[in-house]
C-alpha cells in the first residue's frame, strides 16, 4: 500500500489516482479515505488528479496512541503533500477534515495551495463557550467519549443510522450506506477516535480562518445534526478573506455521500470559476 512516513514515524496511507491538477481530500471522523469514493471517481473522470489519505489512527494508517490533535493532523497532511510534491493543489475537507484543511493552510502556508473547500466542517469552533454560545455543550462530546469507550460498534451504528445522514428524520435508512460508515469507523483505532473527539470539538480555528487568503468554498446544510449550522458554516465564511458560501436545506451532515450529485456539481463549478 502507498504510504508516507511522518517525522514521528507514523505511516500515513494514501490513494493517488490520475493526472492533472491535484485535489486533496481530508475525511471526517472516524472514517477513512473511502468516504470520498463519490468525489474521487467524479473528479478523476473530469481530468483531475485525486488524492485522499487516512488520518493517523484511522483506516489503514498506523494505529498510534499519540498525536491525535489538529497540529499532527495538519503536519501529516503536509507530509503527504510534500511526499507527492503537489503544486497548485485544491484541498477539500469534510467535517473534521475541514478543520484539518483550515489548520494545514494556516500552519504550512499557501505556496502549494490554489483553492480550498470545507463541507459540513467543524470550524470555527464546535464546543459551546461564553464567546461561542451557539456551540454544543461540552457534555455532548463527553457523552460521545463515554459511549465510544463502552461499545464503539454500537455507538457507530447509532450515529450512521441516525443523525449523520438524517435517517432519524427521513425514516428512509440506506442499509449499505450505514454499513459502509460502520466498516470505515471500525477499521480505525479506538484511541485515535476517542482523542479525536476532543480534537474536532475543542480546537478553535478562528485565527486560522483569518490567515487564509486563497479562495475557499464553504458548504453547510441548515439541517446538519452533527455540526450545528449556526455555529459553523456562516461564521467561517465571514472570517475568511475570500470565501464563497453555499447553504443547503434538508441535506444531512454526510451530504457528500447522500447528495453527491449536488455537492460534486457545486464543487466543480467553484473549481472551474
Residues belonging to the active site: 95, 224, 253
Question: Is residue 106 left, alpha or beta, with left meaning phi > 0 and alpha meaning psi from -120 to 50?
Answer: alpha
Environment class of 139 (CB within 10 Å of its CB; exposed 0-12, middle 13-18, buried 19+): exposed
Among 176, 236, 229, residue whose Cα is nearest residue 212: 236
Virtual CA dihedral for 264, 265, 271, 273, nearest 10 degrees?
-170
Q: Which residues contact 108 (CB under 8 A, 6 or more apart)?
A: 74, 75, 78, 81
Q: Are 153 and 186 in contact (CB under 8 A)?
A: yes
Q: Residue 24 and residue 243: Cα distance in Å, rounded?
A: 19
C-alpha cell at 70: 489538529
24 three-class SS: strand
Environment class of 228 (CB within 10 Å of its CB; exposed 0-12, middle 13-18, buried 19+): middle
For residue 111, count other CB atoms closer than 10 A to its CB.
Answer: 7
Amino acid at each position: 500500500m502507498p504510504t508516507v512516513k511522518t517525522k514521528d514515524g507514523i505511516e500515513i496511507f494514501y490513494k493517488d489516482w490520475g493526472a492533472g491538477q491535484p485535489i486533496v481530500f481530508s475525511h471526517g471522523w472516524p472514517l477513512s479515505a473511502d468516504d470520498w469514493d463519490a468525489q474521487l471517481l467524479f473528479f478523476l473522470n473530469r481530468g483531475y488528479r485525486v488524492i485522499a489519505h487516512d488520518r493517523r489512527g484511522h483506516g489503514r494508517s498506523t494505529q498510534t496512541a499519540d498525536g491525535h490533535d489538529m497540529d499532527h493532523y495538519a503536519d501529516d497532511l503536509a507530509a503527504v503533500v510534500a511526499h507527492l510534491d503537489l503544486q497548485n493543489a485544491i484541498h477539500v475537507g469534510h467535517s473534521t477534515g475541514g478543520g484539518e484543511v483550515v489548520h494545514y493552510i494556516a500552519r504550512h502556508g499557501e505556496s502549494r495551495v490554489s483553492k480550498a473547500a470545507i463541507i459540513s466542517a467543524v470550524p470555527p469552533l464546535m464546543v459551546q463557550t461564553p464567546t461561542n454560545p451557539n456551540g454544543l455543550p461540552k457534555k455532548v462530546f463527553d457523552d460521545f467519549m463515554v459511549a465510544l469507550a463502552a461499545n464503539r460498534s454500537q455507538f457507530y451504528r447509532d450515529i450512521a443510522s441516525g443523525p449523520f445522514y438524517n435517517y432519524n428524520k427521513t425514516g428512509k435508512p440506506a442499509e449499505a450506506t450505514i454499513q459502509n460508515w460502520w466498516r470505515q469507523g471500525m477499521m480505525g483505532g479506538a484511541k485515535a477516535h476517542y482523542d479525536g473527539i476532543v480534537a474536532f470539538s475543542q480546537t478553535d480555528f478562528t485565527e486560522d480562518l483569518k490567515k487564509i487568503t486563497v479562495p475557499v468554498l464553504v458548504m453547510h446544510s441548515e439541517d446538519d445534526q452533527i455540526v450545528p449550522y449556526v455555529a459553523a458554516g456562516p461564521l467561517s465564511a465571514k472570517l475568511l478573506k475570500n470565501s464563497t458560501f453555499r447553504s443547503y436545506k434538508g441535506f444531512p451532515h454526510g451530504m457528500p455521500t447522500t447528495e453527491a450529485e449536488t455537492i460534486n456539481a457545486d464543487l466543480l463549478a467553484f473549481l472551474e470559476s
